[in-house]
Structure 1
């Protein structure tokens, strides 16, 4: 039985999920249906994720952001991961990926799905490897069993490393940082040792049958994404991308929704090329990128280097940005890292959405400008991406006697004497009285 949004769209049906997306994006429901039918928009909505609020990801929708959470063998448990989930949703993550690789993976994931109103993604390869003693004992059957188990739980989209083939491995051997995808490196090692083809690629039709049954959106993983600027846009990356384009068409033939994952670390002058190449090879399927990071020398600040690249990528047509936290390359992020990463990438996506002139996107900015000029501090806080941080900085910077006074017509930057907006009000008042 095929229950996917794509199948229903191709039957001419406008589903409740499509209607929800149309309202949130200020689009016509029929346009949303047509975009889903052609594969240019996905609605990541597993039929078993009961409390989900559907949202659309695609070229003609606002750019979305994803926040990664998940425990590891060394850190975090269910309580901490739910705190991260709450933090992610509170500050505006459109989707959340559970990348847990530690203990109680099934329990943590079920708790996350049950608590989340936004789509949840996973990388099934991580659990498949976690459940066996030796990663080299992995099999296609084991991966498919884990995928079906996660699909039954209600996972909305899954990253699958099915585009990396044996022929690609030699292409990555001269790279500066080799294969930086965790799933990609494990798959490459498995193919090398067993001298066999990628088992997920070999069992791809069975994978599509699972997706049809639960409406799982495939996020075709970029196992050979560049892990540094020196490796960007190389033969390995682009060869895998071509395979992802072929797998995308095969999925569409079965009415399975698809996103394509992309880099990674990319110099600013190569971002537009990467986006256009993906559109060409992958038929304008939604492009979901990590960052991209535009420099390699900012550990501790990679949420900024990623947001710079993300803003450009989104402007050129990327559909969703995977956030990067300040802990990237350094450690497992905590709740505060999640907050900083989300805000940085919300800024990136929103900036691109403004430049691409999506309906209503700039309304909030215009309201903020009016609130600033009228010294309506409470309105400014409410409109801010991070209201608590805005209020905190305002209070901390004011003299103690004015710390809780939100009626002043100045901040601590200029004070009452040099506030340009206050002076502008005086100029305008004088002009009106002349």
Structure 2
């Protein structure tokens, strides 16, 4: 006999599976999980298990999936992903230039594009980007709020902010950076302990200003459950923004950064409980010897959620070359556990990057990510390096271009400086060590005198 008041089995409704984490917990492998598994040389069940417990995220808005996006996995045991930032600035609103940057991101191997447009009506650019790119698309709704709502910052309400989040979700954004962790408790720590560079996160500073002027709690923290409902409806991965990331070496691993990280760990669990995928964002600026410990601490406090970092930059004085300072830190952070690197360009701290800056920043970050993948023993990460070694041994330049992360630049530089001796380059010419040893093994006697 059924229990009194129980709903008959035939009329019970099963919970609706929407997000990748919903399907993973139900034991179902989605097409996106299969795609990630194939690309990463992993078993689909390996992917499903880690999506289910939050160690892997597959940022793939259901709207963007219908438009033909590729699925990318971010997290444990996977290749390190790379993001390119772009977007229309109030001081330099040139959509055509931004589309050049999109093309570079797609052609040179970025995994994600973050549209950080913050001027005027940005929705058309965002929608077109989602329509056209197969890469993951991320945004920071807080950047868009003032222009979208046509209100000054301090006049924005909680409902205004959530309306912008919903608009981004409806458009198909795959992951959103939302600064949920900067609550009154964290700001109290910040004001009590002080910092050299204060708050350098743009979104974090806007929310801090809003909180200070209105006296209210951060609405993304106070109404977090409502935010999660929007994210779940479209399978938007929430990228928990680090409002208090260090903006200089002096502030790294301080009380304010750590206080926020503790809050982000709590928010991870609440998101997973709501069936929402999560990434956590990290530093920033940090000395070389502090990076590995910071990565491990974040993984511990945030329960092994995928970690998305900006570098970190390992010195504060590399102005004009910060793609290099960030690549050094990125290689260390990714080899120590970070899963996703946001590129930094030579224009960092100086100006809006141009198309060449985007290429330089992307390639520096791709190199850092790849170096880390080799160190982490990601499956098949070193295959192309070994092929490059074979191509160089044979002095097979066409094969070298096929192995290069940026074949265009490499080939261009080589052809601009032709060598007199076939098969060599102008660095060594006829004294090329590879050529010399090849000829010896071929039984050819060579004379490197003036007449050779």
**TM band (smaller chain):** over 0.9
1:20 aligns with 2:20: no
Give 1:95-114 correspondences, 5 Å limit. Answer: 95-114=112-131
Q: TM (normalized to structure 1)? A: 0.96
In structure 2, the partner of 1:59 is 76
Determine the C-alpha separation between the residues in 1 that align with 2:33 and 2:274. Answer: 20
Please state how far the C-alpha of 1:203 moved relative to its aligned partner.
1.1
Among 70, 77, 95, the alignment partner of 2:94 is 77
1:274 aligns with 2:294: yes
In structure 2, the partner of 1:10 is 25
In structure 1, the partner of 2:428 is 414
Please state how far the C-alpha of 1:211 moved relative to its aligned partner.
1.0
1:258 aligns with 2:278: yes
Please state how far the C-alpha of 1:382 moved relative to its aligned partner.
2.0
Runs of 4+ more than 3 Å apart: 170-173
Give 1:169-180 correspondences, 5 Å limit. Answer: 169-173=187-191, 174-180=194-200
In structure 2, the partner of 1:132 is 150
For the pair shown, the structure with the greater C-alpha radius of gyration is 2
Please state how far the C-alpha of 1:170 moved relative to its aligned partner.
4.1
Among 153, 161, 164, the alignment partner of 2:179 is 161
In structure 2, the partner of 1:33 is 48
Give 1:186-205 correspondences, 5 Å limit. Answer: 186-205=206-225
Q: TM (normalized to structure 2)? A: 0.92
Determine the C-alpha separation between the residues in 1 that align with 2:368 and 2:156. Answer: 38
Please state how far the C-alpha of 1:86 moved relative to its aligned partner.
1.1
Determine the C-alpha separation between the residues in 2 that align with 1:214 and 1:408. Answer: 58
Could you say what secondary structure the match of 2:135 adopts?
coil
Contact kept in structure 2, 1:375 and 1:408, CA below 8 Å: no
In structure 1, the partner of 2:370 is 350
In structure 1, the partner of 2:4 is none
In structure 1, the partner of 2:345 is 325
Among 57, 61, 64, the alignment partner of 1:46 is 61
1:228-249: CA deviations, max 9, x gaps? 0000000000000000000000
Q: CA RMSD in A?
A: 1.4
Give 1:184-263 correspondences, 5 Å limit. Answer: 184-263=204-283
Determine the C-alpha separation between the residues in 2 that align with 1:302 and 1:286. Answer: 24
Contact kept in structure 1, 2:286 and 2:312, CA below 8 Å: yes
Determine the C-alpha separation between the residues in 2 that align with 1:392 and 1:430. Answer: 33
Please state how far the C-alpha of 1:169 moved relative to its aligned partner.
2.2
Unaligned runs of 5+ in 2: 1-15, 446-452
1:375-414: CA deviations, max 9, x gaps? 1111111221111100111012226xx6xxxx92210000
Please state how far the C-alpha of 1:67 moved relative to its aligned partner.
0.6
1:424 aligns with 2:430: no
Among 138, 161, 167, the alignment partner of 1:143 is 161
Contact kept in structure 1, 2:189 and 2:259, CA below 8 Å: no
Please state how far the C-alpha of 1:122 moved relative to its aligned partner.
0.1
Determine the C-alpha separation between the residues in 1 that align with 2:411 and 2:422. Answer: 14
Could you say what secondary structure the match of 2:197 adopts?
coil
Could you say what secondary structure the match of 2:443 adopts?
helix
1:287 aligns with 2:300: no
Could you say what secondary structure the match of 1:292 adopts?
coil
Determine the C-alpha separation between the residues in 2 that align with 1:333 and 1:199. Answer: 32
Determine the C-alpha separation between the residues in 1 that align with 2:170 and 2:145. Answer: 16
Contact kept in structure 2, 1:291 and 1:310, CA below 8 Å: yes
Give 1:386-405 correspondences, 5 Å limit. Answer: 386-398=406-418
1:39-66: CA deviations, max 9, x gaps? 0000010000122010100021111111
Please state how far the C-alpha of 1:113 moved relative to its aligned partner.
0.7
Contact kept in structure 2, 1:166 and 1:188, CA below 8 Å: no
Determine the C-alpha separation between the residues in 2 that align with 1:358 and 1:133. Answer: 47
Determine the C-alpha separation between the residues in 1 that align with 2:397 and 2:250. Answer: 46
Q: How many residues align?
A: 425
Unaligned runs of 5+ in 1: none
Mean Cα deviation higher: 27-36 or 407-416 = 407-416
Could you say what secondary structure the match of 2:45 adopts?
helix
Contact kept in structure 2, 1:2 and 1:213, CA below 8 Å: no
Determine the C-alpha separation between the residues in 1 that align with 2:182 and 2:150. Answer: 22
Could you say what secondary structure the match of 1:226 adopts?
coil
Contact kept in structure 2, 1:132 and 1:138, CA below 8 Å: no
Determine the C-alpha separation between the residues in 1 that align with 2:108 and 2:190. Answer: 37
Determine the C-alpha separation between the residues in 2 that align with 1:129 and 1:103. Answer: 9
